[in-house]
Amino acid sequence: MLKKRFLWQLVAMFILPFNAIAQRGSFDIERWYDVTDSIRSRAETEQISKRVIDETFRSTAFIPSIVKSDKNQAEFKLTLDDYLDRTVSKSRIASGKKMRAKYPTLLSHVESKYGVPPHVMLAFWGMESNYGAVKSRHQLINAFMTLIYDGRRETFFSNQLIALMKIADKNNLDIGKIHGSWAGAMGHFQFIPTTLAQYGADGNADGRIDIINNISDAMYSAGNYLNRLGWDKNEKIVRRVVLPADFDISLLDGKTKKPLSQWAQMGVLNPDGNAIPQTDMIAGLVADVAEIESIRNSASDTIASDTDVAPMPVITAYLTYPNFYRIKRWNNSNWYAIAIANLADNLH
């Protein structure tokens, strides 16, 4: 082991970019080997095969760009409308319709087994990987080892690597050939290993689960996940509505939930001005609060200098039903959930 460590030190001096030194001061080879030994020991304790353990640690590498990505995730600055323009684009809708025509039997089987309609499955597939067109370039072993070494979320990424090793062992996969995002998501629906371990399903009955190379496995796994989250195919996800211009925007984060009848009493209407359904169904409300505040501030500045101004426009928002909150357990973003709903509607 000492000889191997010495050789790795020599190699590291030549293959690690200089910005790795700039980010951490210097590359700590002893910490790298402590991480390696810890994962190896845990894998042996959890009875992962020698084949997978050896494949995992045959040629692991520290990737400085992954640490940079983890530390410098861009702040989200798009408005909701801009976000929807990007994610629910004409090209993505057109591609989704082509995929519906290409895989009608598979989509029908997923709906029969898991109760998730084709247009919803296609929406998730389109959002996550643009129907498989987005190819992940990182070898997941290296991504996880780098993030474990960096230490910011060591326990989380250690669990992901161990889960990945178990998946490779159980499904007889070459772990060195499994690629994903820098953060560890993989396949057509971008599952992290612990999610795949819990919800993965064998879609083509070949005794293996491969969500990267097998679309049937990917579809069945995503359908199983949504089913386990409680997906209700008879419910809408969101309803686009309009609100009075003076509506209390503190209620628009999706956390405050009321019966539709109460929202209606507060002035919530369909975009055409007609009443929303008068039922006891519970829903939240979501809107682009930052954009609303910007409009209100701009209007206030105008009024201060010129009282002859047009009234503030009504507010566009979305009533959010239980399926909306199931989507948020997949990806905890209000805008992502609204995008899924909009894309699904365009693919219905």
Is 271's pLDDT higher than 80? Answer: yes
Q: Find the mean pLDDT for residues 131-138.
A: 87
Using one digit for the tens of pLDDT, what is the confidence trace for 168-201?
999 999 999 999 999 999 999 999 999 999 999 9
Is 297's pLDDT higher than 70? Answer: yes
Residue 323 and residue 294 in contact, taking contact as beta carbons nearer than 8 Å:
no
Using one digit for the tens of pLDDT, what is the confidence trace for 68-123?
888 776 556 789 999 999 999 999 999 999 999 999 999 999 999 999 999 999 99
Query: Three-class SS of residue 61?
Result: coil
Q: Please report, for residues 170, 197, 302, the alpha-carbon distance to residue 174 in angstroms, rounded to integers and kept in the order given.
A: 11, 16, 64
Calpha distance 39→22 (Å, rounded): 26
Q: Find the mean pLDDT for residues 332-343.
A: 96
HSE, side-chain direction, 13 A CA sphere, residue 17? 11
* Type of residue at 220: Y
Could you tell me the residue ranges of all domains in the chain? Answer: 1-71+140-175, 238-320
Give the predicted TM-score (pTM) of the model.
Answer: 0.87
Is 254's pLDDT higher than 60? Answer: yes
Query: Roughly what angle, to the nearest 10 degrees, separates helices 29-45 and 2-15?
Result: 130
pLDDT value at residue 286: 96
Using one digit for the tens of pLDDT, what is the confidence trace for 9-60?
444 444 444 344 334 457 889 999 999 999 999 999 999 999 999 999 998 9
Antiparallel, parallel or unpaired: β 238-243 and 138-139 = unpaired
Mean pLDDT, the chain, integer: 88
The phi and psi torsions of 146 (rounded to 5 degrees) equal -65, -45
For tokens 């159980």, name the residue. Answer: 170
Task: Give one DSSP letter per residue of 269-323, joined into a string.
Answer: B-TTSPBPP-S--EEEEE--HHHHHHHHHHHHHHHHH-S--PPPPPEEEEEE-HH
